[in-house]
Amino acid sequence: MPITEFLAQNARLYADETALVEINPEHESMPGKWKEFSLVETDPDRAYRREISWADFDCRSNRFANLLLTNGVGKGDKVAILLMNCLEWLPIYFGILRAGALAVPLNYRYTAEEIKYCLDLSDATFLIFGPEFVDRIESIRDKLPNIKQQFYVGTQCPDYAQSYFKFISYCSSRNPNIPLSDEDDAAIYFSSGTTGFPKAILHKHRSLMHAALCEQEHHGQRRGDCFLCMPPLYHTGAKMHWFGSLVSGSPAVLLRGVSPKWIMETVSNENVTIVWLLVPWAQDILDAIDRGDIMLEDYKLDQWRLMHIGAQPVPPSLINRWKHYFPHHQYDTNYGLSESIGPGCVHLGVENIHKVGAIGKPGYGWKARIVDPGGNDVKCGEVGELIVSGPGVMTCYYRDEAASRAVIKDGWLYTGDMAQEDEDGFIYLVDRKKDVIITGGENLYPVQIEDFIRGCEWVKDVAVIGRAHKRLGEIASAIIELKEGAVCTTADIQEFCKALPRYKRPQEIIFDTVPRNPTGKIEKPKLREKYGAAEIVAQQIGK
């Protein structure tokens, strides 16, 4: 069945209970006070706190579905969403599904040309966007012949678009009851772009349903839980983790901001029990506690039961630090990719914290193997490519048959990630296939080096890339971002790295900021472009 049935069920069973809360700390008028503003639909950007019930959620989704249908959107049409996280995001998404159309979420960091590229590639005919994107849409609106209608979520609607708030109020709140099956197309997501220009990833309704069941199975969301969501909803990861709240009929909070203080205040004031963090945010919280900027006794945190991390390899040193401050927390990590409908195809499990560093075992309903270039299983402990199979594997890369054939073979999705399995069956991510550095005939896996260097007391973040070398082919260069106030030299890092085997020690140390995308992945193409040809002189940094 489609996941929209969970929404209808929750509206029947828990009509007046809170479904979604949006917190926008930048609009707090009284610092230190938890002030609630009334919901003003025509001017949502001014509110600090807004919420809707399950009945409201269901009603808004129906209204948007009917708005689409009255504007000629039919089953199989594509509707693009270009919004920051907000209270309107998920009702719009579910309205698209209820209309029988395909949701096409767009990365809010896309440039105007990237937006045009993705709209063209996905065959989108309808676009709904927010105030943050007016300038970008304005610059390309005459170059979008396939877009038949544009709706705007916010005040001061541009003259070339229609007001979402104005027109949705005229639409019926009845479910249009468009027939949907598990095999109907549901959504097109875009790859993160860390390995090149985004590809369009097509998923059926069965993928979304399996993601919801998988998430609820892994983290056991209950009616009394409250999930804090900060990563962008356009990405499969954030939305699929929220699906656990959908299945259990429990509330979730959308926090528009990631400062440690805002996170802790929201957990405390909204009675949050589950938080999904990206590595940089977890590091920022721990650093703020270390500095004394956050005093844990100032917050109500006893109800917080689970912290989980995904989207990138998690250094064991980070979790060890976390458990020092939060010894009662369950911890979990999930591995996944948009091609496998987000996190969960490999899953550590809260009972396996003794295996911190592993991404886990195949998740609920999933299979996983580690294979050599010929597709044969490698031996225990050997490095190979991780491949997965399950109900959440994408249908294809939309309009790209060659790319689809390259990654889907005999029902298995070739992830492009290198991994190895231990004697207990736990899988450890080694690195992206294309990020492996070959130096003097030896394979170096940057993630292993990065995990080691993050154990250094001065280091906030690190990325290891390969740079061309006449004699060795490539050398490992470590781009290191220091903690605030840290004073550290190249010699200090080199001394720390002496605990590594000689061939794994980075031969170049560069002090700089480590760029990450909105889902927390290191943007190594940017670093390669920045440092690929230039001669780098390592610098001593001190603040």
Q: Are residues 425 and 440 in the same domain?
A: no
Q: What is the CATH number of the domain that holds 73?
A: 3.40.50.12780
What is the rounded CA–CA span in Å between residue 427 and residue 345?
A: 12
Tokens describing residue 355? 């295996």
Pairing of strands 396-397, 200-204: antiparallel
Report yes or no on 538 lying in a domain. no
CA triple 428-433-438, angle to 5 deg: 105
Residues 365, 223, single domain; the answer is: no
What residue type is 277 in one-letter code?
A: L
Question: Residue for token digits 């489609």?
Answer: 2
Which residues of the chain fall below pLDDT 70? 28-47, 192-196, 311-313, 431, 433, 440-442, 470-473, 519, 532-543
Same domain for 414 and 479, yes or no, is no
| pLDDT, position 346 | 95
| Residue 50 forms part of a structural domain | yes
Does residue 129 sit in the same domain as residue 16?
Answer: yes
Measured distance CA(65)–CA(176) in Å, rounded = 7
Q: Is residue 496 part of a domain?
A: yes
Is residue 137 assigned to a domain?
yes
Same domain, 477 and 380: no
Residue 335 neighbours by CB under 8 Å, 6+ apart: 310, 343, 345, 346, 347, 359, 360, 427, 429
In the prediction, which pLDDT does 250 show? 98
pLDDT at 523: 83
Rounded percentage of the chain residues whose pLDDT exceeds 90? 68
Listed residues 246, 277, 310: the one ending a domain: 246
**What tens digit of pLDDT does each residue of 488-539 get?**
999 999 999 998 878 788 989 999 999 887 767 788 878 888 886 434 333 3
Q: Which two tokens stand for residue 337?
A: 């990719």
Calpha distance 435→457 (Å, rounded): 26
| Same-domain status, 508 and 392 | no
Residue 311: per-residue pLDDT: 59
**Do 194 and 72 share a structural domain?**
yes
Residue 159 has a CB neighbour count (10 Å cut-off) of: 4
| 292 CB-contact burial (10 Å; exposed 0-12 / middle 13-18 / buried 19+) | exposed
Asked if 14 and 160 sit in the same domain, the reply is yes
Question: Is 236 in the same domain as 183?
Answer: yes
456: domain CATH number is: 3.30.300.30
Same domain, 167 and 78: yes
Residue 430: what pLDDT?
A: 80
Is 294 domain-assigned? no
C-alpha to C-alpha distance for 228 and 238, rounded to whole angstroms: 10
Q: Does 166 map to a domain?
A: yes
Tokens encoding 5 = 């049935």
Q: Distance (Å, rounded) from C-alpha 277 to C-alpha 268?
A: 16
Distance CA 221, CA 209 (A): 16
Residues 22, 122 within the same domain:
yes
Domain boundary among 186, 217, 246: 246
- Note down the domain range covering 420: 334-432
Q: Are strands 78-82 and 102-105 parallel, antiparallel or unpaired?
A: parallel
What is the pLDDT at residue 217? 94
Segment 527-530 long-range contacts (CB within 8 Å, at least 24 positions apart): 527/463, 527/465, 527/479, 528/465
Count: domains in the chain: 3
Claim to verify: residue 396 and residue 454 sit in the same structural domain: no
Domain finish residue from 408, 432, 456:
432
Instruction: Say what the pLDDT of residue 347 is.
Output: 93
* pLDDT at res. 35: 37
